[in-house]
Amino acid sequence: MAARLPEIARGGLCSALAPALLAASLLAAPASAQFVEGPYVAGGAGLNLVPDTDLNLDRSATLGLGAAGYGARGSAGFVPGFGTVLSLGWGFGNGLRAEIEGSWRSNDVDSISGAAGSARGPSPGGRQDSWGVMGNLLLDLAVIGPVVPYVGVGLGYVTTDWAGVRSLSADGALRMRVDDSDGRFAYQGIAGLAFPLSFAPGLAVTAEYRFLGVLQPRLQVRYDNPATGAPVARGTVEPDAFNHSLLLGLRYAFRAAPPAAPAPAAAPQPQRSFIVFFDWNRADLTDRARQIIADAAQNARSQRTTRIEVAGHADRSGTVQYNQALSRRRAETVAAELVRLGIAREEIVVTALGETQPLVPTADDVREPQNRRVEIVLR
């Protein structure tokens, strides 16, 4: 009987995941520094499940069993078993990874029914081992806090080995035995989560699900009479070969991404404004005021300022008209000091604002020192 490709392989798994990989690569998070870059090794182990497997017998076995009065089809069941994988890969720094994987899976036979098999009992026995080599393409989808989800697909070659698989018919008149192995094309889908360990750069814990499908192996099977040992039929059986694996593991990237560099400290901004304060009802400069004006002139030269705004202010003691004039005298005094310090007069714009823009709002006729000022702004 020619090997047949299960339905899931005829455009199912690979064609479904390929567009998902492409779309995910376009939407991958920009935190590429946290994705694997360069060589890495990974390994995992855990639970392997094999669903009930149809036993598809070829014509030679069918004719022999039919002549003996037995059906030509059957199925085998397996208990949960063990699986392990070991990979060597390369990360491209953008979430995409490629790897070569070696794997081994093992499950004991639990039951055989039909085709000279009793459903359960002491007679069924044996083991199915699968080992192979796969080439995988994986994509880390994003960095979500401490977790990196990923998906992948793989193609390769897997050998299925049935060791001592045997069964006795319910009437005890027919015995089946399979001791054979066969290698076939295999495919797999992978979905997992990686948990990078902050205390060990490059090291991550992984938890993943893998579906492994293998084209039906062709295994030699024989049937005989257990009482006499006389052969009843020989032929081949082509079991379905599907595996579902739940694995925990570790992955180590040899080039761990360096910790993110701290953001550079903001460069100190040059001072652009200065305030000169005046005594009550005065427009002359104190020593402190002269020092502040000198600082403003020095900054204006170092910053190549092209315009200096000088705005005079007054508090609300006195009339509005008087305070307007007083604020102008103060502004002109500051402008004159700037000119004395080397600032060109045409670069200075003088404005008198009187009591209209106080630093500290007050009632009328209140003397407020912070409102008696001139503001120098460098443009």
What is the rounded distance in angstroms from the CA atom of residue 37 to the CA atom of residue 89?
10
**For residue 304, what pLDDT is reported?**
79
What is the rounded distance in angstroms from the CA atom of residue 335 to the CA atom of residue 333?
5
Q: Beta strands of 255-362 (E only): which ranges? A: 273-277, 308-312, 348-352
**For residue 123, what pLDDT is reported?**
66
**For residue 118, what pLDDT is reported?**
60
Chain segment 120-137, per-residue pLDDT in tens:
555 688 999 999 999 999
Average pLDDT over residues 247-268: 73
**For residue 15, what pLDDT is reported?**
45
Q: Residue 14's closest CA among 209, 187, 244?
A: 187
Residue 112: band (very low, low, confident or very high) from pLDDT cuts 50, 70, 90: confident
Q: Where are the domains of the chain?
A: 7-253, 273-378
The answer to whether residue 6 scores a pLDDT higher than 50 is no
Q: In terms of DSSP bridges, do strands 96-114 and 73-78 run parallel, antiparallel, or are they unpaired?
A: antiparallel
Residue 263: band (very low, low, confident or very high) from pLDDT cuts 50, 70, 90: low
Chain segment 66-101, per-residue pLDDT in tens:
665 566 677 888 999 999 999 999 999 899 999 999
What is the rounded distance in angstroms from the CA atom of residue 174 to the CA atom of residue 117?
8
**For residue 300, what pLDDT is reported?**
87
Chain segment 205-237, per-residue pLDDT in tens:
999 999 999 999 999 888 888 888 888 778 788
Other C-beta atoms within 10 Å of 224: how many? 17
**For residue 39, what pLDDT is reported?**
95
Q: In terms of DSSP bridges, do strands 231-239 and 203-214 run parallel, antiparallel, or are they unpaired?
A: unpaired
What is the rounded distance in angstroms from the CA atom of residue 338 to the CA atom of residue 328?
15
What is the rounded distance in angstroms from the CA atom of residue 7 to the CA atom of residue 273?
77
**For residue 10, what pLDDT is reported?**
38
Average pLDDT over residues 227-248: 87
- Look at 25-39, 177-191, 342-356 and tell me which has the smallest mean pLDDT: 25-39
Chain segment 185-204, per-residue pLDDT in tens:
999 999 999 999 988 888 99
- Residues ≥6 apart with Cβ < 8 Å to 104: 83, 84, 129, 130, 131
Residue 238: band (very low, low, confident or very high) from pLDDT cuts 50, 70, 90: confident
CATH number of 273-378: 3.30.1330.60
- Look at 4-13, 237-246, 253-262, 350-359 and tell me which has the smallest mean pLDDT: 4-13
Chain segment 265-314, per-residue pLDDT in tens:
655 656 688 999 999 999 999 999 999 999 988 988 888 778 899 999 99
Residue 64: band (very low, low, confident or very high) from pLDDT cuts 50, 70, 90: low
- Look at 40-49, 253-262, 266-275, 328-337 and tell me which has the smallest mean pLDDT: 253-262
The answer to whether residue 2 scores a pLDDT higher than 60 is no
- Residues ≥6 apart with Cβ < 8 Å to 362: 315, 316, 368, 371
Between residues 64 and 143, the one the model is more confident about:
143
Tokens of 87: 């990979």
CA 20 to chain centre: 15
Highest mean pLDDT among 1-15, 137-151, 164-178, 201-215: 201-215
Between residues 58 and 99, the one the model is more confident about:
99
Chain segment 300-351, per-residue pLDDT in tens:
888 877 889 999 999 999 899 999 999 999 999 999 999 999 888 999 999 9
Class of domain 7-253 as given by CATH: mainly beta
Highest mean pLDDT among 14-23, 72-81, 108-117: 72-81
Q: For 199, which DSSP code?
A: T
